Amino acid sequence: SLRLATQARVLARTQSNTELESLALNAITYAHIRLGHYGQAKQYCHEVLALAEAESPARVDALLNLGICAGETDDLDTLYSYTQQAVDLSRQIGYDRALVRGLHSLACTVYVPRGQFDLALAVDAEALRIAQKRGLEELTWGPLTTMSYAHWIQCQSALALTRLQELQQVMLP
C-alpha cells in the first residue's frame, strides 16, 4: 500500500493536482502510522497541510493523522488539539465519516483515559447517532465498544449490556 500510495503521489504531482496529491500523502501517512513511523507520518501530515485547501477533507484527514501520531506517543494534549480541530472542520464542511472518527477518537483516546466517562459517553453517543443517520454503519462498532466500556467502568452493567447487545448486531461474525 505504501508503494501504491507513493506512485499515486508521483502521478498526482506530475499532473499538478494538489487535491489528489494530498489524498495520496494521507494514504502514505496512514501507512507510516500503521508501521509505527510517527516522525515520518507527521512530516507527511505537514506536507498535506501545506498543500490542501483550507476547507478540505484532506486537511481534516491530516489533522486526524496528526492526532493519532500524538496519541501513539502519549501526548494527550496535542492529540486533543488536532482531533478537535479535525472535528470542527469536518462538521463545518460536512465530512461525516471524519466527524464520526474524530468524535470517537476524542471519546476513547482522550476522555476515557482521563476518567471523563460522562463526556466520553456523550461524545460517542453523538458519533453513533451521526453514523447511524448517515448510513455509516461500519463505523458504529467503535462508539458502541467505548460506550459499553465506559458504562461498565461506572458500574452501569445494564447499560453496558445494552450497548454490547447493539454491538453484537453490527459486528461481523
Mean pLDDT of the chain: 96
Residue where the block lists cell 458504529 = 140
Would you state the pLDDT for residue 94?
97
- Nearest-angstrom CA–CA distance, 34 and 172: 23
Give percent of the chain with pLDDT exceeding 70: 99
Query: pLDDT tens-digit profile of 31-87?
Result: 999 999 999 999 999 999 999 999 999 999 999 999 999 999 999 999 999 999 999
Within 10 A of 114 (CB to CB), how many other CB atoms are there? 12
Would you state the pLDDT for residue 158?
97
- Nearest-angstrom CA–CA distance, 131 and 114: 25
The three cell numbers of residue 74 are 502519549
> Is a pLDDT exceeding 90 seen at residue 91?
yes
> Is a pLDDT exceeding 90 seen at residue 173?
no
- Nearest-angstrom CA–CA distance, 146 and 120: 8
The three cell numbers of residue 160 are 453496558
Would you state the pLDDT for residue 17?
94
Would you state the pLDDT for residue 15?
96
C-alpha 100: how far from chain center: 7
Helix spans in 15-138 (H)? 18-35, 38-51, 57-72, 76-93, 96-106, 117-133
Model confidence at 171, pLDDT cuts 50, 70, 90, reads confident
Mean predicted confidence (pLDDT) in 134-161: 97
